[in-house]
Structure 1
């Protein structure tokens, strides 16, 4: 009886090692969600008067998908509930001098990078 239990424990330990490796590889592989650009200062922002497009210009190196020719800023649709929340958060960040980290989408929006999410930092 002890021998069978010991064999089962050994099999479980071996499987656990493989499952841990699989989880590690899946966690490290980049997803198609985009790239985090790191915490940066917002150096400008604005919105169109004729449509709901808003933008934020951030300091530092260019970013975004290769197909976006204008890659020093992010743009988004401020007419949605999420877009309005983003606008408020970005305005607060800009006014307070805090830094923001955008995770830039893997696709362009009207020729500009857009973002999947953002977070305000230090």
Structure 2
């Protein structure tokens, strides 16, 4: 099971290498994480400076659990949150989260 989770994490991280412009947040502490029951939107709130494009810059990053790798991202971020690990987000510089455009979104994550 652990090997499968690790493989899924690698696929998620490497699968986004050709994505549009993004910028790194640097390592951030997760202060809150959750998902809505009304749709597939999940969020993670991070400490530090706001991230994302000017139209939706903030500390609450959104993604869809229904997207490819969405459930894996939720699992990885929940584990990092519970373990007190810091996470680096590659935030989309060119667009906001489509389902809730007041918030930034990201292409992928990695840990230190």
Q: Which runs of 5+ in 2 are unaligned?
A: 1-18
The structure whose RCO (Cα within 8 Å, separation 6+) is larger is: 2
> 2:47 aligns to what?
59
Q: Aligned residues, how many?
A: 90
Contact 1:33 1:116 in 2 (8 A): no
| Rounded Cα–Cα distance in structure 1 between residues aligned with 2:68 and 2:106 | 15
The CA deviation string for residues 9-55 of structure 1, in whole angstroms up to 9 with x for no partner, is xxxxxxxxxxxxxxxxxxxxxx9521100001000011101101000
User: Normalized per residue, which structure has more helix?
Assistant: 1
Aligned to 1:67, the other structure's residue is in SS state: coil
TM-score, normalised to structure 2's length? Answer: 0.75
Please identify runs of 4+ aligned residues in structure 1 that moved more than 6 A.
none
- Unmatched runs of 5 consecutive residues or more in structure 1: 1-30
Deviations 1:70-119 (A, max 9, x none): x1111000023410110000000000000000010121012211001100
Larger radius of gyration: 1
Q: In structure 2, what is the equivalent of residue 74 of structure 1?
A: 61
CA contact (8 A) 1:47 1:53 kept: yes
Normalised by the length of structure 1, the TM-score is 0.70
Residue 103 of structure 2 corresponds to which residue in structure 1? 112
